[in-house]
Amino acid sequence: MIALTESAATAVKKLVEQEGRSDIALRVAVQPGGCSGLRYQMYLDDQVADTDVAEDQFGVRIVVDRMSAPYLSEAKIDFMDSLEASGFTIDNPQAQGGCACGNSFH
């Protein structure tokens, strides 16, 4: 299962609080597209299927569909907030390569 850092979990919790709902999970998926063939998707989702892989980490429910799970099994989501950049990052050792923009992989 994908791993969430504490700082990423804190950022997700803030987003969930802004939504004002406790039934929302962080969905992480891999979809065809981008320069290198596959791209990540990450969003808050209230639709969790029985076929999804779900896990709680640092008080955040993470959901991954079964098709995406093999691509994300060793990945780690972090949240950076610095002068240079702010946002979520995904470090995926299974990605064999990526594009210059950093939004897709293969």
Q: 32-51 pLDDT, tens per residue?
A: 876 667 888 999 999 999 99
Give dist(CA 79, CA 31) in Å, integer.
Answer: 21
CA nearest to 32, candidates 62, 60, 67, 63 = 67
Q: How many degrees, rounded to 5, is the angle at CA 100 between CA 66 and CA 68? A: 0
Q: Tell me which residue has tokens 């972090």.
A: 78
For the whole prediction, is pTM greater than 0.95? no
3-state secondary structure of 84: coil
Which residue segments constitute the domains of the chain, with CATH numbers given?
3-95 (2.60.300.12)
What phi and psi values does residue 49 have, to the nearest 5 degrees?
Answer: -90, 160
pLDDT on residue 22: 85
Name the DSSP class of 13.
H
Mean residue pLDDT of the chain comes to 87
pLDDT tier at 106, thresholds 50, 70, 90: very low
